C-alpha cells in the first residue's frame, strides 16, 4: 500500500516528475497521476484513441494544445460539439477572444455586443464574419458534391484552413476524423439550414456518419477513450466502443459529479455497467477544471512516452516540412526558368 508522502518542490522538475509526486499526496492528485499512466498504457498498447471534448474547451486556449496532440499522434478519432467547430474556424481566420471576469455584468456586455463564456468574451462581430465565411465554404462544398457525411465535410473544411493551431486543419492533415453528431446545434447548423433553403439537394448526412464512427474500430482492436467534460461528444464515442465490444482504457476529466446521474458526471466505473468500458479495463476519473487537469495529465504522459521514444517527434516533422518547402521552391524556380 502506498503511504502518504509530503510533497516538496524540486527546482527544475518536469511535469512528469510533478505528476509522479502526486502518487503520495492523496485526493484527486492520485487520480490525475493514474490518468496519465492510463494514457501511456493505451498508447503503448497501440489502442485506437478517441479524444472527446466540448466546445467551451476550444473557446479557451486549449485549442492549440488539441491541435498539437493531433500532430503528435496522441489521438486517432475526435468527437466534439458544434461550437468547437465554429470557434476553431473563427480563430483560424484570425479572430481573437478576450479574457474577462466571471463577475462581469452580463446585461452590460449584451448591450455592447459581447457574449460571455465563463470568463472569456466573444464579440458579435466574430459571428458575423463567421457567417460570411460559412456562405463561401458551403458554396464550394456544394459545387464539389451535393451530399456529405459530417466527418467528410469537416475534413474538407479543414483542408481549406491555413493555421497550424487549427484542430480541423491538423485533423485533416493527419487523417484524424472529426465527428460532430449534433452539427445543427449552433450557428453552424443555422447556416446549413439557410443554405439548404436555396439548395434543396444539399444534404448533410448525420446517419451515414454514425456508420463511419462505428467502422473506425473493430471488436478486435484495442480502444481507449480520453473524455474531457461530458455531453453528446462523450456519449457518442462511448456508444461506438459499446457496439464494438467496449473500451480497454478510459480516462474522464470533468467538473460534474456522479450524483447528478448525468452523462457528464458518469464515471469510468459506471461505464462498465453498460459495457462501454470492459470489466478489466484500466480507468481513471479526475474531477476538476479541464484547463488545469488535462495539460498536466497529457504532458506527463507525453514526457514519459518521449523518454521511451514512443512519441512522434515535432522536430522531425518540422525538418520534413522545411525539406518539402525547399522542394516546392526549387520546383517554382525551375518553372520560372522554363
Question: Which residues carry out catalysis?
Answer: 276
DSSP conformation class of 4: P
Element (H, E) at 252: strand 247-254
What are the angstrom distances between the C-alpha of 117 and each of 120, 149, 151, 183, 316?
5, 30, 26, 20, 37
Q: How many angstroms separate the CA atoms of 200 and 146, rounded?
A: 9
Residue with cell 455586443: 113
Angle at 132 between CA 176 and CA 81, to 5 degrees: 35
Give the number of residues written for the chain: 338
Q: How many angstroms separate the CA atoms of 103 and 105, rounded?
A: 6
Angle at 228 between CA 86 and CA 230, to 5 degrees: 85
For residue 111 the three cell numbers come to 448591450
What are the angstrom distances between the C-alpha of 287 and each of 124, 225, 302, 338?
33, 16, 21, 63
Buried b (16+ CB within 10 A) or exposed e, 58-70: bbbebbbbbbbbb
Dihedral-angle region of residue 96 (phi above 0 means left; psi in -120 to 50 means alpha; beta otherwise): beta
Tell me the torsion sign for CA atoms 131, 136, 137, 143. Answer: positive
Q: How many angstroms separate the CA atoms of 109 and 114, rounded?
A: 5
Strands 98-99 and 178-179 come out as unpaired
**How many helices and strands (H and E) does the chain possess?**
15, 11
Amino acid at each position: 500500500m502506498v503511504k502518504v508522502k509530503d510533497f516538496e518542490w524540486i527546482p527544475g522538475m518536469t511535469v512528469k516528475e510533478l505528476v509522479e509526486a502526486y502518487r503520495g499526496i492523496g485526493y484527486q492528485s492520485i487520480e490525475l497521476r493514474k490518468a496519465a499512466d492510463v494514457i501511456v498504457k493505451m498508447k503503448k498498447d497501440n489502442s485506437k484513441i478517441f479524444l472527446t471534448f466540448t466546445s467551451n474547451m476550444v473557446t479557451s486556449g486549449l485549442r492549440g494544445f488539441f491541435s498539437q496532440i493531433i500532430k503528435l499522434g496522441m489521438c486517432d478519432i475526435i468527437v466534439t460539439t458544434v461550437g468547437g467547430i465554429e470557434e476553431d474556424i473563427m480563430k483560424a481566420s484570425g479572430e481573437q477572444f478576450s479574457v474577462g471576469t466571471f463577475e462581469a455584468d452580463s446585461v452590460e456586455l449584451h448591450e455592447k455586443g459581447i457574449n460571455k463564456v465563463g470568463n472569456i468574451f466573444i464579440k458579435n462581430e466574430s459571428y458575423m464574419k463567421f457567417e460570411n465565411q460559412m456562405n463561401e465554404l458551403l458554396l464550394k462544398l456544394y459545387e464539389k458534391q451535393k451530399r456529405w457525411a459530417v466527418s467528410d465535410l469537416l475534413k474538407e473544411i479543414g483542408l481549406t484552413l491555413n493555421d497550424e493551431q487549427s484542430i480541423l486543419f491538423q485533423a485533416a492533415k493527419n487523417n484524424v476524423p472529426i465527428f460532430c453528431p449534433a452539427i445543427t446545434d449552433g450557428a453552424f447548423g443555422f447556416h446549413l439550414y439557410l443554405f439548404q433553403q436555396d439548395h434543396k439537394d444539399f444534404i448533410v448526412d448525420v446517419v451515414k456518419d454514425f456508420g463511419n464512427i462505428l467502422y473506425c474500430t473493430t471488436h478486435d482492436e484495442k480502444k481507449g477513450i480520453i473524455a474531457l467534460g461530458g455531453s453528446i461528444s462523450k456519449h457518442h464515442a462511448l456508444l461506438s466502443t459499446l457496439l464494438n465490444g467496449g473500451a480497454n482504457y478510459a480516462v474522464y476529466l470533468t467538473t460534474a459529479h456522479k450524483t447528478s446521474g448525468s452523462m457528464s458526471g458518469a464515471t469510468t466505473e459506471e461505464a462498465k455497467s453498460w459495457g462501454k468500458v470492459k470489466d478489466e479495463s484500466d480507468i481513471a476519473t479526475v474531477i476538476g477544471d479541464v484547463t488545469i487537469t488535462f495539460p498536466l495529465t497529457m504532458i506527463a504522459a507525453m514526457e514519459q512516452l518521449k523518454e521511451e521514444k514512443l512519441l512522434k517527434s515535432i522536430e522531425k516533422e518540422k525538418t520534413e516540412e522545411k525539406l518539402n518547402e525547399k522542394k516546392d521552391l526549387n520546383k517554382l524556380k525551375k518553372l520560372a526558368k522554363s
